[in-house]
Structure 1
Amino acid sequence: MKTTEIEKSKTHILIEIIEYVPNSVVTKTIIRKTTGNVTVVAIDMGEDLTEKISPFDSFIQIIEGNAEVVIDSQSNLLKTGEGIIIPAHTSHNVKANERFKMISTVIKSGYEEF
């Protein structure tokens, strides 16, 4: 499986490297390493990411629009420019009450002792 990342050593306007698709969640990998990954996500209104529990910390930053991030049944409304850390081993999902774009950063290192 070939993983395509965006071009290195080149500036990028993050909200322009991914487009909305009606009734869809679209992702584009910025960088993927064994220690973690960074992904840009565009989510159309009414869509959401499936509720899950990750073994790693994740950082969600909204780069366009507004999103609802639910962590352990606690709703957090994030606006453009805001971010939140989703702790490892917590139930969470992301809802699009309107369409939005975000950066998702997952850090996989630091958990070797578990």
Structure 2
Amino acid sequence: MKKQLIKNIEFSKAHDLVNLVDYQPGKVVSLTLSQNQTLSITLFAFAQGEAISTHSAPGDALVYILDGRADISIGGEKITATAGQVVVMPANIPHGLEAVENFKMLLVVVM
């Protein structure tokens, strides 16, 4: 039996990515689509004001904003990103983010 590499999403069906996670007041909701030693793909929905504190990761992280707006800090510089935009956070550089308003993102980390 072949190992399933993508999970938590129905195969052979068209999906609206933005609708696979829902907002919950005061929470960060996540849905892992794939995770292994070299790749992680996760959907997130952040309620306004929720954040991920500054940290660093061993891989490059690509954030694709699906809905709303977020402030993203990378190495001490702040970027505001909105729906349709992509931001890449380099490996081993401190980064974090905060929901300026409700926002959803697809996070792809490549190690």
Taking structure 2 as the reference length, what is the TM-score of the superposition? 0.89
Aligned pair count? 106
> What is the match of residue 78 of structure 2?
75
User: 1:47-104 CA distances to partner (integer Å, 9 max, x unpaired)?
Assistant: 1012111011000010001111100110001011001110000000011111100000
Question: Pick from 76, 94, 102: which aligns with 2:105?
Answer: 102
SS in 1 for 2:58: coil
Gaps of 5+ in 2: 1-5
> What is the match of residue 52 of structure 1?
55
> What is the match of residue 12 of structure 1?
15
- C-alpha distance in 2 between matches for 1:105 and 1:77: 19
> What is the match of residue 31 of structure 1?
34
SS in 1 for 2:18: helix
| Percent sequence identity over aligned pairs | 30
- C-alpha distance in 1 between matches for 2:13 and 2:35: 17
SS in 2 for 1:28: strand
Gaps of 5+ in 1: 109-114
Taking structure 1 as the reference length, what is the TM-score of the superposition? 0.87
Runs of 4+ with deviation above 6 angstroms: none
Is residue 42 from structure 1 mapped to residue 52 from structure 2 by the alignment? Answer: no
- C-alpha distance in 2 between matches for 1:73 and 1:98: 21
